[in-house]
Chains A and B, each alone.
Chain A
Amino acid sequence: MFPTPIQKASGPTRLAYQIALPIALVIWLFPLIGVAVTSLRPASDLAAGNYFGVPSSIAFENYAAVFRDSPIGWYILNSFKVTIPTVIGAVGLSCLTGFALAVYGFRANLWVFFAFVAGNFIPFQILMVPVRDLTLKAGLYDSTLGLVLFHVAFQTGFCTLFMRNFIKGMPFALIESARVEGVSEWQIFRHIVLPLMRPAIAALSVLVFTFVWNDYFWATVLVQGQHAMPVTAGLYALNGQWVAAWHLVSAGSIVAALPPVLMFFLMQRHFIAGLTLGATKG
């Protein structure tokens, strides 16, 4: 283990470390803590110039106001309507593509794989004009479906990279053994590989959920009106309305950030496993 475990250090060093931990955390999360506190501060405090002191009262009212006076609830619903189908679509498609690229040695294999990988890293702007045009022509502009289709296609790149490497890590003899037993290729996928992909599916689902939930660029490019707007773009719009109403902006921010944060805490192990794929083996 590196650095040397703190347990081997002297008493004062250990104590210093234990004290340093929470201090470092508070400094690190300062912007977040500030926003969280502000979201619970009554408007009167801000008016009175009490920006940093102890709030005069805990104002859950801010959250009620956000939901009552703005369409943020609707925006969040839209975000779910975009995110959940995207997760299902992208993870589902990439199970298939990942399997194809991991198991078969056809001629174009590596090139198709590299296309998926490279596509994953390109700047969104190179896609913006044609994708917007395509969505308009398909009559899907300003709809959650338009966003879903794009996100599914784009996330399939990353997901394929992930799935392919995951399946490559399985013992190939499992597949060969089934082939000798007369099991068809589809049955191999369905009954052998798919059940063993569960951890990868979990990891990718959380990751894609977070990526898509937090997307802002495409939400502004492919959506215009309120009825299909996800919460990221919605929050930006509300920020324009709530000029200097920081208690509301803060409460709105916390609300918008909550679903991926909950997701992260619930599925932390999977999330990190997905994110750090490839970080340990060359």
Chain B
Amino acid sequence: MPTNSQPAGFWKRNQMKIAPYVFLAPGALMFLIYVLIPIVQSIWISFQDWDGLGPKTWVGLANYVELLDDDTFYVALKNNLLWLGLYLLAIPMGLAAALFLNQNVWGIRLYKSLFFFPFVISQVVVGLMFTWFYAPDFGLFSQAIKWLTGSEVAILADERYVTYGIIAAGLWPQTAYCMILYLTGLNNLNAEQIEAARMDNARGWRLLRHVILPQLAPATFIAMVVTVIGALRSFDLVSIMTAGGPYGSSQVLSYFMYEQALSEYGYRMGYGAAIAVVLFLIMMVFITLFIVRMIAQERNR
């Protein structure tokens, strides 16, 4: 190559090396500033006593020690586990709905869309709908309970039932989400494999268990990921429906954190950050599992 066109030559010779960083820079920078660095900052703040305005005071592990003594923390933790466990019901429910709707009859597309509806609606609206649904005296659900058992239950005001009530509201959109994942999975089944299995006399439950479910594994995996994340992220419904009450009995970590850091009880940023770190660590377990699986997949490409 002639060397007299050095400036243009430099870019030409090196564009393959430089280009990826140029393309990456704007997005990566935003993500760094608003997501990655704040994670580190939060961990840092969790070792401080801070009201959000004044100077920070290093308190070491004091926030975490206090957390271990806080009854609300245990209630929130217990409720989070409850959310996690019950939220997973969205997966079999979504599969059932998908199997029910995976037919080719007139108008089925509209049915599928309408079944999917709850997922498109904001959780704020879902929360309000279920609050109305559960309302004592005139809520449809309360009326149904009254008609069935003779006695009325105010779900959202009863410490025994409140979390279950909120989770049920959360299951509504989540089931719709899982349903759409499975509908897509069912749509892409290997038809020849099913025909072969039918020739081998597999049908009904056994066909589902041994031939269909293995083919749906990618859908199941995604459904698991989004459901676990959804359960641990539960904030909107708790905030809208009960604000953690009555008497903190429907607390979850995400709302507890918000309340400690930003509510009228005072701005305890350090303590809030400590709660967030705990939640983050729980979530990290699942994120790690997910990433490990993705690495394995990338290697297989």
Contact = CB atoms under 8 A, between A and B. Distances in A.
Contact of A281 (B105, B181, B189, B218): B218
B27 A94 contact: yes
Interface of B: 15-17, 19-21, 23-24, 26-28, 30-31, 33-39, 41-42, 45, 52, 99-100, 102-105, 111, 113-118, 120-126, 128-130, 132-133, 138, 140, 143, 172, 177, 180-181, 184-189, 191, 194, 207-208, 212, 217-219, 221-223, 225, 229, 232-233, 235-236, 239-240, 253-254, 257-258, 261-262, 269, 272-273, 275-277, 279-280, 283, 286-287, 290-291, 294-295, 297-298
Contacts of B128: 35, 235, 239, 249, 253
A257 interface: yes
A35 B41 CA distance: 43
A7 interface: yes
A232 to B, nearest CB: 5
Contacts of B261: 128-129
A263 B15 CA distance: 40
Nearest to B173: A214
Given A1-B102, A96-B26, A185 B132 contact: no
Contacts of B126: 31
Given A17-B103, A130-B41, A261-B117, A276 B34 contact: no
A56 interface: no
B236 A126 contact: no
What DSSP secondary structure best describes chain A's contact surface? helix
Contact of B102 (A2, A133, A260): A2
A124 B105 contact: no
Interface string A125-149: 1111111111000000000000001
Given A2-B194, A279-B184, A100 B38 contact: no
B102 A232 contact: no
Given A104-B16, A123-B232, A216-B236, 13 more contacts: A29-B118, A30-B140, A122-B283, A123-B276, A125-B254, A126-B39, A128-B262, A134-B33, A134-B34, A213-B122, A268-B113, A276-B180, A282-B217
Q: 10 closest Cβ contacts across the A-B interface?
A: A153-B34, A130-B38, A100-B23, A104-B20, A97-B27, A214-B122, A93-B27, A130-B41, A276-B184, A125-B276
Give chain A's interface residue range (CB within 8 Å of chain B): 35 or more
B133 A31 contact: yes
A116 B297 CA distance: 17
B218 A124 contact: no
Nearest to A271: B120
Contact of A280 (B34, B184, B294): B184
A197 interface: no
25 contacts: A2-B102, A21-B105, A31-B126, A96-B27, A97-B24, A106-B17, A109-B20, A110-B295, A112-B24, A123-B254, A125-B235, A126-B279, A128-B261, A129-B41, A130-B38, A130-B45, A134-B33, A152-B30, A214-B124, A221-B262, A232-B122, A250-B132, A276-B180, A279-B223, A280-B185
Interface in A73-101: 93-94, 96-97, 99-101
Interface of A: 1-3, 5-7, 17-18, 21, 24-25, 28-32, 34-35, 38, 49, 51-52, 93-94, 96-97, 99-101, 103-104, 106, 109-110, 112, 114-119, 121-134, 149-150, 152-154, 156-157, 160, 184-186, 189, 210, 213-214, 216-217, 220-221, 232-233, 235-236, 239, 246, 249-250, 253, 256-257, 260-261, 263-265, 268, 272, 275-276, 278-282
Contacts of B133: 30-31, 34
Contacts of B272: 125, 128-129
B121 A129 contact: no
A226 B38 CA distance: 27
The listed residue with most B CB atoms (<10 A of its CB), out of A99, A149, A156, A279, is: A279
A125 to B, nearest CB: 4
A132 B297 CA distance: 37
A6 B19 contact: no
Nearest to B293: A282
Contacts of B185: 279-280
Contacts of A261: 117, 120-121
B23 A97 contact: yes
Nearest to B120: A264
